[in-house]
Amino acid sequence: MKRVVLLGSTGSIGQSTLKVVEDLPDRLRLVGLAAGGGNVDEFARQINTCKPSAACVFKSDKLSELRSKVNGATRLSSGPEGLIELATMPEADVVLIAIVGTAGLRPALAAIEAGKDIAVASKEILVMAGEAVTTAAKRKGVRILPVDSEHNAIWQCLDGKPNHEVRNLWLTASGGPFRKTPKADFDKITLADALKHPTWNMGGKITIDSATMMNKGLEMIEARWLFDIEMNRVQVVIHPQSIIHSLVEFVDGSLLAQLCEPNMRLPIQFALTYPDRVANTLPEADFNRMASLQFEMPDHDRFPALRLARESGERGGTTPAVFNAANEIAVERFVKGEIRFPQIWETVGRVLSAHKTIEHAPLDTIIAADQWAREEAAK
């Protein structure tokens, strides 16, 4: 039995995690739940169903409303301190972090310091603080378990093989809704267009990031840290069907891929039951639906996000945090209809050019760089 703390339970990954736990009651138990507070009714329903020993609502002003809707003995808390308390719960074996944005960073480090394995769904953790997080995990002897479908796939394909046997890691990308859109039409792209993802049903921010391919850029940096590999061995290939979740190309020319229908329950389950493979209620393989698997190389002229990500990852230090923060601000502006679609990467590019990288930065320096990038992007 693995005892799981889930940070970010009402989001898309959180809800899939609850299904995984429900599917494997002899294997997994939720001992802690945290949510932002945007959907108190749903969070209260989850607490009343799973009966964790502790739960935390990030927005402190939602605590009394939550208290009035929760019955049972769950200990309730709020705010960043509440998150840290959950992340370090003595009875937890693994902490799954699926909080959107930077709020998951300190709980991730706290969980590692408390000797917990962390399952990472929030990209910001490794993008912003990959060096600090992986160094701390090594020192404490805990695992960083990738939940993101691409990294989970690479992890399954690598199966413990050493880095010198790897030629390239290949992240697959659906290409998003504008894979075939001519560059000349990019200025006319609306929010509604950008929210139409061809294969995955995810949150709003990540769907926009998929449309710009910033999401794949963030994943390149994430892969660099998760698998301790140089940026120039992290590649991207477009695969519109999202059946192959990623591949490893070994030095002998062999390519290993991981395939399954796009459903986040599988990577979440693999991370939580690792090293075991466990039978579940997911649908069996349907080769009729996999009849055509296509590939194409990304068009860097129409999608400069990948180049910006590679540059950021190569510069290292505070730069990936700046890349991430500038993108967040630009996406917010695009969502509000204040900037055009190409201005998302134009903004990120400008902020990156203005940034002076600080190498081997401690967490406070990274957070300061993140803050600087937000102000710079807003200008």
Interface positions with Mg ion (CB under 5 A): 148-150
CB of residue 199 to Mg ion, shortest distance in Å: 11
CB of 56 or CB of 223, closer to Mg ion = 223
Residue nearest to Mg ion (CB): 148
CB of residue 150 to Mg ion, shortest distance in Å: 5
CB of 85 or CB of 148, closer to Mg ion = 148
Please return the burial class of 150, using the count of CB atoms within 10 Å of its CB with bins 0-12, 13-18 and 19+.
buried
CB of 78 or CB of 212, closer to Mg ion = 212
Side chain identity, residue 32: G
Cis before 90 (ω within 30)? no
CB of residue 127 to Mg ion, shortest distance in Å: 12
CB of 262 or CB of 349, closer to Mg ion = 262
CB of residue 173 to Mg ion, shortest distance in Å: 9
CA dihedral 138→139→141→145, nearest 10 degrees, is -40
CB of 10 or CB of 172, closer to Mg ion = 172
CB of 153 or CB of 322, closer to Mg ion = 153
What span, in angstroms and rounded, lies between the C-alpha atoms of 37 and 35? 6
Going by C-beta distance under 8 Å and a sequence separation of 6 or more, which residues neighbour residue 376? 326, 351, 354, 355
Under 8 Å between Cβ of 69 and 46: no
Q: Is 89 left (phi over 0), alpha (psi -120 to 50) or beta?
A: beta
CB of residue 60 to Mg ion, shortest distance in Å: 31
CB of 12 or CB of 135, closer to Mg ion = 12
CB of residue 151 to Mg ion, shortest distance in Å: 7
CB of residue 343 to Mg ion, shortest distance in Å: 24
